């Protein structure tokens, strides 16, 4: 059965899933929380601010899994911060995410405050509609920035790749399971693709990615890649991944859907990472 990974990318809100994700992953907007931006590796990433002792809510429909990605918002050079996030439904606590995080050399946009390393936790969501309350409990930092990524059950996974000591989320597509990205333009969608090599493959490998925008075909993207050194998938250490290749999809004004699928059934899949170039975030509407 064909499954579709879904991600939503908004030119001004930069959401890859419903708001960033794959295998059906979408970024979820909470009911409250100020949007904050952090530039990481040249990409603008959106978080929602949650003050110490503050609670917000997110609405999800299972079955699936929700991932909470948080960064401490720091105003001091404390060597380590404890981040503590509680997830509740009604009065029942479903999960407590507790993590130590070191400060990093990053500043939140339009702010003098710094950031810690990202820390995350996952929660399985059973079938049906759920209203989750998310509370930040730690007093060691004044606030955290949180991203909420929901992945429906039955789609191909979102994976974390270690690339030059950075942990980056990628979405997996293959010949039968596409990734679908919702984008608000005018803007350009930047895509980084890494082929997953089939067993025994040697030398340069040619592959194609089939593209549809709003159901209409766009020219296929052709890649020629070799095995990458120093890149590893956390959940699939046996995978051999190709070097990253970048291409762009033009997005006209309005909301549009872009679907990406690997044309080559002989390969296990292709890992895809999405972003909106910074200048397009600034110029989009």
pLDDT at 155: 58
pLDDT at 23: 39
Instruction: 200-208: list long-range contacts, CB under 8 Å, 24+ apart.
Output: 201/240, 205/242, 205/267, 207/262, 207/263, 207/264, 207/267, 207/270, 208/262, 208/263, 208/264
pLDDT at 21: 35
pLDDT at 285: 33
Residues 163 and 235 in one domain: yes
Residues 182 and 257 in one domain: yes
pLDDT at 18: 35
Domain CATH number, residue 185:
2.60.120.260
pLDDT at 169: 85
| 1 assigned to some structural domain | no
| Domain endpoint, select from 152, 169, 190 | 152
Q: What's this model's pTM, rounded to 2 decimal places? A: 0.56
Residue ranges in the chain modelled with pLDDT below 50? 1-3, 8-23, 282-285
Q: Which residues pair with 129 in a beta bridge?
A: 61
Assess contact for 227 and 197: CB atoms under 8 A. yes
What residue numbers bound the domain in which 73 lies?
27-152
pLDDT at 14: 33
Residues 89 and 181 in one domain: no
| Domain endpoint, select from 86, 117, 152 | 152
| Domain endpoint, select from 103, 121, 152 | 152
Residues 45 and 74 in one domain: yes
Residues 165 and 272 in one domain: yes
């Amino acid at each position: 059965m064909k499954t579709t990974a879904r991600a939503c990318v908004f030119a001004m809100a930069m959401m890859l899933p419903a708001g960033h994700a794959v295998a059906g992953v979408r970024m979820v907007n909470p009911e409250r929380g100020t949007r904050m931006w952090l530039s990481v590796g040249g990409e603008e990433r959106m978080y929602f601010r949650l003050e110490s002792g503050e609670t917000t809510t997110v609405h999800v429909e299972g079955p699936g899994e929700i991932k909470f990605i948080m960064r401490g918002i720091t105003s001091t050079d404390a060597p380590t911060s404890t981040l503590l996030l509680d997830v509740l439904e009604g009065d029942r606590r479903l999960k407590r995410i507790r993590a130590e995080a070191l400060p990093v050399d990053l500043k939140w946009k339009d702010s003098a405050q710094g950031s810690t390393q990202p820390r995350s936790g996952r929660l399985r969501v059973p079938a049906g509609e759920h209203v989750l309350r998310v509370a930040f409990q730690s007093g060691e930092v004044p606030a955290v920035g949180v991203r909420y990524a929901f992945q429906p059950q039955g789609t191909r996974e979102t994976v974390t790749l270690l690339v030059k000591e950075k942990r980056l989320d990628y979405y997996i597509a293959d010949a039968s399971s596409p990734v679908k990205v919702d984008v608000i333009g005018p803007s350009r969608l930047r895509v980084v693709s890494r082929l997953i090599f089939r067993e025994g493959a040697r030398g340069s490998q040619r592959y194609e990615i089939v593209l549809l925008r709003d159901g209409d075909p766009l020219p296929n993207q052709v890649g020629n890649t070799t095995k990458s050194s120093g890149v590893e998938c956390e959940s699939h250490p046996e995978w051999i991944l190709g070097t990253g290749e970048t291409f762009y999809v033009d997005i006209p004004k309005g909301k549009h859907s872009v679907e990406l699928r690997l044309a080559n059934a002989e390969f296990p899949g292709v890992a895809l990472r999405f972003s909106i170039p910074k200048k397009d975030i600034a110029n989009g509407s």
